[in-house]
Structure 1
Amino acid sequence: MQELRFDGRTAIVTGAGGNPSLGRTHALLLASRGASVVVNDIGLDPEARHYPGAASAETVVQEIIAAGGKAIACTDSVASLEGAEAIVRTALDAFGGVDILVNNAGITIGAPFADITPRDIQRHIDVNLMGTIWCSRAAWPHMAAAKYGRIVNITSASMTGFADQAVYAASKGGVWSLTRALAAEGDRLGIKVNAVSPGAYTRMVISSMEEDSPILAQSKSSLPPELSSPAVGYLAHEACPVTGECLDAVGGQVQRCFISRTEGFTDRDHAIETIADRWDEVMDETQATTVGLALMDTSQWGLRAYRPGNQKIS
């Protein structure tokens, strides 16, 4: 089996300074295969409650260098456009480009929907969703100019529905929808955008569970973060054959997660009662099909030209 390498490629991995953490193992894997890596992490979240010490992008960089790899640390925040642009600028200045972006940085605060504070709601959106948007936005023109790019977004199984994680799930569901839309838009530009839904023993998991939690103990014993990194590496490689896909990568198991649509029924004269009467047809998955990307030319749709909000339309 031929080794898949990243020689000559530059990768950015956000949220990669923790130990144990998924970002760290993603960065170590890419660097071990020849990539020059920007290891991004803010260090200590000033609003974090239970994290076991600070993360350190510089420490991960030293690990990479000690193993013979190339890396540089960056401590700017993904939660603003300015921070995202600084992260990408670090890659450009240090290594001359950006080929791979792994949007790994994130937070999770488990709480019932009625109890979670407005501030914690906003933080999930700012970091998990907007951080992914801002970093992708900052890297996008450079990838488009090179006619090549690989973006791997980190989502979560919570997006399919998980109690006491409504806002986290919403932010990660947004990341999945963003992945699909950017994949459709990036297809003609040579940019492939995919997602990974991982599961591992990490600082985030440690911070969100009580010390005597059986789930935490099971995670520590059987879910090392290294087992989720090969899926990220494959989707980040030039040999990746897909775009707009999501892989679950947990404990050595790799699966495809996708959207499907039932055959349902067609009746232009249907009423509320029709749906009630034919509900079994709506829900029948026997003939369900996979929902593909909308890879289409919209130039003939007659869409209005986009103009920035402060520009007058004459």
Structure 2
Amino acid sequence: MAEDIVFSGEVAVITGAGGGLGRAYARILGQRGCRIVVNDVGRPHGEDVPVAQSVVDELQAKGIEAVADDHNAITDGGAIIETALDAFGAVDIVINNAGIGAGSPIGPNSVDEWRETIDATLQTSIAVTGAAWPHLIERGGGRIVMTGSPAMFGAATTIPYSATKSSMYGFTRSVAAAGRRHGIVANNVMPSALTRLTQSLPPGPMAQLFADHYPPEDVASFVTWLCHRSCTVSGESFSVGGGRAARVVLSENRGVLVDDQAPESWAAHVDELMSLDEVVFPLSMNDEVTWQAHTLGKSVPAELTPGGPLDWNRKPRP
């Protein structure tokens, strides 16, 4: 039987925690023994109390240690971490939950429009993770959670959001690889949940689907496991929602070799090129490049494949 998921005063920094998923994370982690830094820049229209402070008031009423932070994660990632250090003297868990949705289709989008989305998702994650990094190393390790999206699979009406959320896959794998020797575990969740973002969807079947079947608490329970010291899974992405979680991986097929490098040669092999009968799962840049060399019949130094060569249809290495 799995051990109980409880914490012993670990400090969790959660960006975008003034509502939706972030608030759900703060609640369950606090209830399970974490001390919480609730970061959010939001302030409800016509109200004096920032949303971060409202969540902190709710947590403190339940006996949970928590502080509010209203620094902008895009420009002040270091200040958010300083709030944690000033209040609790440590950082153990970082949940990069801040972000915005952008509903732009393809077209002559302005650079500023795209930049806003990139900054709110990717830049915030880079800034806060980078600021926390030396403190996690000093603690002998920690847990980092990124926030991707099912939009990674494509979203024609919200292309900046889809593109930016897709970047979380590679960012997470790279952070996990860098953190491995320090005991830092990093994973990426792609949540389906009723949040401030999905509540803004136009009325219709998709909005109703979120309202009926995807409470944020279902994602929060999974993220709580990812944040616990017993979770050693790292570098992975998970589609999570409604009480279900699934590992998401990138794969490639056997590939096609042609003797004649004319464009017509590739056109003649489109069925093989598109086949998914045999697939392999590269888990790093080295995996990909050395596998290419292997399929070309080139010699690959053993030190470049410490886990052994990739095999068709084999499970990815953990």
Q: TM-score, normalised by structure 1?
A: 0.85
**1:116 Cα deviation after fit:** 4.6
Of the candidates 53, 57, 60, which is equivalent to residue 58 of structure 1? 53
Q: Which residue of 1 aligns with 2:15?
A: 14
Of the candidates 217, 242, 259, which is equivalent to residue 226 of structure 1? 217
**1:282 Cα deviation after fit:** 2.3
**1:123 Cα deviation after fit:** 0.8
Matched, 1:23 2:16: no
**1:276 Cα deviation after fit:** 2.1
Matched, 1:257 2:257: no
Matched, 1:272 2:263: yes
1:290-305 equivalent positions in 2, closer than 5 A: 290-293=281-284
Q: Could you tell me whether the CA contact under 8 Å between 1:17 and 1:43 is conserved in 2?
A: yes
Give distance in 1, aligned partners of 2:260 and 2:212: 57
Give distance in 1, aligned partners of 2:212 and 2:50: 22
Give distance in 1, aligned partners of 2:61 and 2:44: 27
Q: Could you tell me whether the CA contact under 8 Å between 1:183 and 1:191 is conserved in 2?
A: yes
Q: Could you tell me whether the CA contact under 8 Å between 1:101 and 1:152 is conserved in 2?
A: yes
The structure-2 alpha-carbon separation of the partners of 1:96 and 1:165, relative to structure 1 and needing over 3 Å to count, comes to same
The structure-2 alpha-carbon separation of the partners of 1:148 and 1:122, relative to structure 1 and needing over 3 Å to count, comes to same
The structure-2 alpha-carbon separation of the partners of 1:32 and 1:293, relative to structure 1 and needing over 3 Å to count, comes to farther
Q: Could you tell me whether the CA contact under 8 Å between 1:264 and 1:282 is conserved in 2?
A: yes
Which one-letter code corresponds to 1:41 in the other structure?
D
The structure-2 alpha-carbon separation of the partners of 1:92 and 1:258, relative to structure 1 and needing over 3 Å to count, comes to same
Q: Kindly indicate whether structure 1 or structure 2 has the higher relative contact order, using CA contacts under 8 Å at least 6 residues apart.
A: 1
Q: Which residue of 2 aligns with 1:306?
A: none
Give distance in 2, aligned partners of 1:233 and 1:271: 53
Matched, 1:125 2:105: no
Q: Which residue of 2 aligns with 1:110?
A: 103
1:101-250 equivalent positions in 2, closer than 5 A: 101-114=94-107, 116-207=109-200, 209-210=201-202, 212-250=203-241
**1:268 Cα deviation after fit:** 6.4
The structure-2 alpha-carbon separation of the partners of 1:267 and 1:76, relative to structure 1 and needing over 3 Å to count, comes to same
**1:194 Cα deviation after fit:** 0.6
**1:267 Cα deviation after fit:** 4.7
The structure-2 alpha-carbon separation of the partners of 1:12 and 1:241, relative to structure 1 and needing over 3 Å to count, comes to same
Q: Could you tell me whether the CA contact under 8 Å between 2:258 and 2:266 is conserved in 1?
A: no
Give distance in 2, aligned partners of 1:139 and 1:165: 31
SS at match of 1:203: coil
Which one-letter code corresponds to 1:63 in the other structure?
E
Which one-letter code corresponds to 1:3 in the other structure?
D
Once the two structures are superposed, residues 205-244 of structure 1 have per-residue CA deviations (whole angstroms, 9 ceiling, x without a partner) of 122x22x323222321221111111221111111112111
**1:115 Cα deviation after fit:** 6.1
Q: Which residue of 2 aligns with 1:5?
A: 6
**1:68 Cα deviation after fit:** 2.0
Q: Could you tell me whether the CA contact under 8 Å between 1:184 and 1:295 is conserved in 2?
A: no
Give distance in 2, aligned partners of 1:40 and 1:213: 31
The structure-2 alpha-carbon separation of the partners of 1:53 and 1:248, relative to structure 1 and needing over 3 Å to count, comes to farther
SS at match of 2:197: helix
Q: CA RMSD in A?
A: 2.4
**1:118 Cα deviation after fit:** 3.6
Give distance in 2, aligned partners of 1:226 and 1:191: 25
The structure-2 alpha-carbon separation of the partners of 1:124 and 1:252, relative to structure 1 and needing over 3 Å to count, comes to same
Give distance in 1, aligned partners of 2:205 and 2:153: 23
The structure-2 alpha-carbon separation of the partners of 1:295 and 1:44, relative to structure 1 and needing over 3 Å to count, comes to farther
Which one-letter code corresponds to 2:112 in the other structure?
R
**1:45 Cα deviation after fit:** 9.1
Q: Could you tell me whether the CA contact under 8 Å between 1:43 and 1:54 is conserved in 2?
A: no
Give distance in 1, aligned partners of 2:270 and 2:135: 49
The structure-2 alpha-carbon separation of the partners of 1:279 and 1:224, relative to structure 1 and needing over 3 Å to count, comes to same
Once the two structures are superposed, residues 81-100 of structure 1 have per-residue CA deviations (whole angstroms, 9 ceiling, x without a partner) of xx110100111111111110
Give distance in 1, aligned partners of 2:244 and 2:221: 11
The structure-2 alpha-carbon separation of the partners of 1:268 and 1:242, relative to structure 1 and needing over 3 Å to count, comes to farther
Give distance in 1, aligned partners of 2:191 and 2:229: 21
Count of paired positions: 287
The structure-2 alpha-carbon separation of the partners of 1:250 and 1:54, relative to structure 1 and needing over 3 Å to count, comes to farther
Structure 1 residue runs of 5 or longer lacking an equivalent are 47-51, 302-314
* % identical aligned pairs: 37
**1:54 Cα deviation after fit:** 8.6
**1:281 Cα deviation after fit:** 2.3
